[in-house]
Structure 1
Amino acid sequence: MLLEENNYDEAFSLFKKLARETPSVQSLNNLAWLMLREEENRDDARALLEQALVLNPKSSFPYMMLGEIALHNRQYEKAKNYLQKALMFNETEEATYNLAMAHFHLGEFEQAATVFSCCEGDSGLTQLHEVVSWLNAGHIDKAKALLANWNEEADDYTGAIEIADVYIELGCYNEARVQFEKEWNSCYLAPYIVSRYAYTLWKLKDYDTCRAIIQQAIQQNKEEQIDEQERELEEHWTAQDRDECIKELTEQQQTLEMLWPRLENGVVPPFDYDMYPNGGCQLFGCMQHGHPEYEEVARGEIL
């Protein structure tokens, strides 16, 4: 109740007291959840959850969090084992997604694609993960078919720039260009995005436009440096903050200025694709999400 009322310090104190004085699946799990979600202390959360496992929990919650932590720590085989155990108790969206991610990082691309396809959503980032999984599995036709039916009106539609990036890996440069053009004038021209679009135009032999978009990015970068130089210093924007920002922008400018020569030398800008674990609520007795107390879970063997 204290947590629901945003009395975090009091709630946290009580959770710690319960875990210390009456360690149980619920008290250890709930304190671990706070450590993971609020304190961002994965090591302490993992230690608490491992204590809970000794008690043979009849719930997916501890296993889901341990799987998530293992993903963050790049322990993918361990993550897969935890998440498969979690799904034996309850097939949740978070556990399914995280299991697919574990498969992906283990090089089990077909399994990853199949599991990602079980997740909810329409034309969102999860579906793009499925496309990339099929791509890595060598099923190019499946990857292309999914992208060909992308729904721009979907609620969780992922950005055109991200789609363009994947089209490049499929060798579909015309399709990639169409996607880049949709958002080019509204996106931040980071060196990675510029390099990927420039490479697309280079492959299409549109050298004039390729030069133009590189120069556009360089000019935008120079203007941003001027803006940061003239920005008024304050408590939350110190001279050190300014200098670090300008240093980063200067490095980005140098990268952009080298882009054209690198393309001339046949350098292919590498594909940089990230996935991040899903979190969610694994708190016994959470009123907001309607989670029962662990005793109720154990009796019914749910969650």
Structure 2
Amino acid sequence: MKLETYIKKFERRVKKHPNDWQIHRKIGKRLVYKLKKKIKRNPKDISLINWCGIIALELNDSDLALEMFQRAVAVNSNVQTLNNLAYFYQIEYDDHQRAVELLERAVKMEPNSGLPYGLLGEAYLDLELYKKAAEAFTKALSFEENPSLLNNLGVALYKQGKIREAAIHFQKSWKSEDRIKDNFLDLILNYGVWDEYLNPVLSYGVSMAQLGKTKEAEEVAGKLKLFVKGYLEAGKNPIHLDIAFLEIAEIYYEAHSYTRANEMFHAALGPKMTYGISPRWISQYQYSLIQCEQLQEAEALLKKVILDTQKLMEEILEDDYYTQEEQQQHVDDYTQDIEEYKDLFQKVREGHPPSVDFCPPVMGNCYMFGCMRHGRPVYIKNEGIIFIDKI
């Protein structure tokens, strides 16, 4: 069987079973073996090297993937090789600085693709270089307008305090994705509890609340509540919804709709929910309760979270899985949480509203040239295609 046929067969397997790499592992290992033999005979064929790196990633062989991507750059430092090595550092190693260094070299070549700019924007976000991130995402959007780039530009603007401009891009991201418009049930059944495409909806809602647009904010919160309702009606486990309830509560809290915020906080912080047990969320809930003249409930909540935290400490001390040093570290962390619960509650009773400190989520994207899983083409410039022309 020709190598080209193997590559196409492997690509079909990946697309058909994207989350089960064991299914295409056998053909992938054989394909890597064939590619390595070809590379040995053609050591400067960056197309062969790139394919080997991509397939190695699909096989979870990070060492081989890194070796191939580094080799490709050494043979020919062009837009594709620099970008793909940067993508590896950004995603696999969280080495954002090294990714930026490679990508800044790539964009100096004036690529006719938005991938290097989008990836550069994400790396800048991770380095908290928000102005540069906004510029990179804006450039990427000049090639292709998609929900993730719009959302991430919104994140970069929000981080600069440009909430109004950020809200515009969060809304565009939300509206540009057909799946988000009305049918939340499809998301529930096909994409999990809190699909990342709901993130711009959340960010838009919080932004509207912070801008004083209460009506718009509550409309967004209502749409997200439809998601929760559909999730429950689909027979899904409600214990997985604590984060969704809390995110919706955050919109109502910022909009000063405290009664509705309390409903969502209660749903998230009930007996079966554990995710939201943190000083941040608890203090916001207590403030909302006090604003609704429910001081006793706020005091009872303080007692409950302290008892729950003490129980967690006891469980840690009784668990042989942890070393003595690890146990002490957890106990110190929980003790600090208890003191923070008490301190924040005192401030809440004095009328000081806890800040939300909202951090809009970044939407991930694939920026690898030639990625089979996401159907990314190889890089094309001036009609010169970097590909395996002859196999």
Q: Paired residue for 1:230, among 310, 314, 318?
A: 318
- Matched residue, 1:160: 245
Which structure has the higher relative contact order (CA within 8 Å, separation 6+)? Answer: 1
- How many pairs align? 297
Q: Paired residue for 1:292, among 377, 380, 388?
A: 377
Q: Paired residue for 2:117, among 54, 63, 69?
A: 63
Q: In the superposition, relative to structure 1, how do residues 194 and 137 fare at CA in structure 2: closer, same or farther (>3 Å)? A: closer
Q: Paired residue for 1:258, among 343, 355, 376?
A: 343
Higher mean displacement: 144-153 or 176-185 = 144-153
2:246 maps to a residue whose letter is: I
C-alpha distance in 2 between matches for 1:286 and 1:55: 21
Q: In the superposition, relative to structure 1, how do residues 291 and 300 fare at CA in structure 2: closer, same or farther (>3 Å)? A: farther
Q: In the superposition, relative to structure 1, how do residues 56 and 218 fare at CA in structure 2: closer, same or farther (>3 Å)? A: same
Q: Is the 8 A contact 1:60 1:86 kept in 2?
A: yes
C-alpha displacement at 1:217, in angstroms? 0.6
Q: Paired residue for 2:284, among 182, 196, 202?
A: 196
C-alpha distance in 2 between matches for 1:206 and 1:42: 47
Counterpart check, 1:177 vs 2:251: no
C-alpha distance in 1 between matches for 2:355 and 2:212: 18
Counterpart check, 1:280 vs 2:377: no
1:28 maps to a residue whose letter is: L
- Matched residue, 2:145: 91
Counterpart check, 1:205 vs 2:288: no
Q: In the superposition, relative to structure 1, how do residues 109 and 262 fare at CA in structure 2: closer, same or farther (>3 Å)? A: closer
C-alpha displacement at 1:281, in angstroms? 1.1
Counterpart check, 1:134 vs 2:218: no
Q: Is the 8 A contact 2:370 2:378 kept in 1?
A: yes
Q: Deviations over 1:54-86 (max 9, x none)?
A: 211111111001111111222222111111110
Q: In the superposition, relative to structure 1, how do residues 171 and 137 fare at CA in structure 2: closer, same or farther (>3 Å)? A: closer
Q: In the superposition, relative to structure 1, how do residues 8 and 148 fare at CA in structure 2: closer, same or farther (>3 Å)? A: closer
Higher mean displacement: 249-258 or 57-66 = 249-258
C-alpha distance in 2 between matches for 1:21 and 1:153: 55
1:292 maps to a residue whose letter is: P
C-alpha distance in 1 between matches for 2:375 and 2:316: 48
Q: In the superposition, relative to structure 1, how do residues 264 and 110 fare at CA in structure 2: closer, same or farther (>3 Å)? A: closer
RMSD in angstroms over aligned alpha carbons?
A: 2.3
C-alpha displacement at 1:4, in angstroms? 2.5
Higher mean displacement: 260-269 or 45-54 = 260-269
Q: Deviations over 1:16-42 (max 9, x none)?
A: 011012111111111111011112111
- Matched residue, 2:131: 77
- Matched residue, 2:273: 187
After TM superposition, the runs of 4+ consecutive aligned structure 1 residues lying more than 6 A away are none
Structure 1 unaligned segments of length 5 or more: list them: none
Identical-residue share of aligned pairs (%): 27
C-alpha distance in 2 between matches for 1:116 and 1:258: 35
C-alpha distance in 2 between matches for 1:173 and 1:136: 15
Q: In the superposition, relative to structure 1, how do residues 145 and 89 fare at CA in structure 2: closer, same or farther (>3 Å)? A: same
C-alpha distance in 2 between matches for 1:287 and 1:133: 36
C-alpha displacement at 1:259, in angstroms? 4.2
Higher mean displacement: 63-72 or 116-125 = 116-125
Counterpart check, 1:144 vs 2:218: yes
1:163 maps to a residue whose letter is: I
C-alpha distance in 2 between matches for 1:154 and 1:71: 34
Partner secondary structure for residue 348 of structure 2: helix
C-alpha distance in 1 between matches for 2:78 and 2:199: 37
- Matched residue, 2:189: none
Structure 2 unaligned segments of length 5 or more: list them: 1-54, 185-197, 232-240, 386-391
Q: Is the 8 A contact 1:72 1:277 kept in 2?
A: no
Higher mean displacement: 107-116 or 47-56 = 107-116
C-alpha displacement at 1:230, in angstroms? 1.2
C-alpha displacement at 1:154, in angstroms? 5.5
C-alpha distance in 1 between matches for 2:308 and 2:297: 16
C-alpha distance in 1 between matches for 2:282 and 2:61: 46
Q: Paired residue for 2:101, among 22, 43, 47?
A: 47
